[in-house]
Amino acid sequence: MSATQVQETEKPQFYLTEEHHPENSTMLGFWIYLMSDCLIFAVLFATHGVLGRSYAAGPSPADLFDLGLVAFNTAMLLLSSITYGFAMLQMERGAKMETLVWLAVTGLFGATFLGVELYEFHHLILEGAGPTRSAFLSSFFTLVGTHGLHVTFGTIWLITLMMQVGKHGLTPENRRRLMCLSMFWHFLDVIWIGVFSFVYLLGVLG
């Protein structure tokens, strides 16, 4: 064997020629992300717990919040979680169009939730109860606004996945992405139940 042939056989490989993606690594990574999001919301809930009674001679939750409107908004988000569950059931059946229909219904519920939340924020600011009015309102706008941003990003993600499923179908990659979004969407529901109970109900009735 010549020296040239020896060098060719001993060439180092700088990349793998075969697939080396650990099974379920995406789901594990997404669970880790959700846990980090839990820490963010835990800090925001704790901050509101400390500042929630600091009204600075301004309006209190009982003066500001319309529990009927908030209950309606809560129903919109909970219904969106149910319809997303229907979408996942259709995905398991391999029914592409039915999956897209339920995803669209979920997106409509999510958009309604965001619309009502923006209306509430606009109404509060017009009444002079903006985030700079008191420590209570600063913590309220930060907590509820952060959750609203998550729902906004989730809705954008939902629309993006609908386009991918519509174009490529229910491929294994799209199924995995839909599962990740399902975890994210249900996580936001759980967080909102905490917001509704801790911020709105305890604020008005407590």
Quick one: pLDDT at residue 15? 45
- CA–CA gap between residue 34 and residue 175 (Å, rounded): 19
Q: What is the pLDDT of residue 24?
A: 65
Counting beta carbons within 10 angstroms of the beta carbon of residue 26, is it exposed (0 to 12), middle (13 to 18) or buried (19 or more)?
A: middle
Q: What confidence score (pLDDT) does residue 4 get?
A: 52
pLDDT at 39: 96
Report the distance separating Cα 124 and Cα 119, nearest Å.
9
C-alpha separations of 124 from 128, 143, 202 in Å: 7, 15, 19
Position 57 scores a pLDDT of 85
Block mean pLDDT (10 aa), the chain, length 206: 52 52 72 94 95 89 93 97 97 96 98 97 94 94 97 97 95 94 96 95 85
Structure tokens at 70: 């908030």
CATH numbers and ranges of domains, the chain: 97-205 (1.20.120.80)
Q: Using an 8 Å Cβ cutoff, are 204 and 159 in contact?
A: no
Predicted TM-score (pTM) of this structure: 0.86
What whole-number distance in Å separates Cα of residue 73 and Cα of residue 144?
12
Q: What is the pLDDT of residue 205?
A: 85
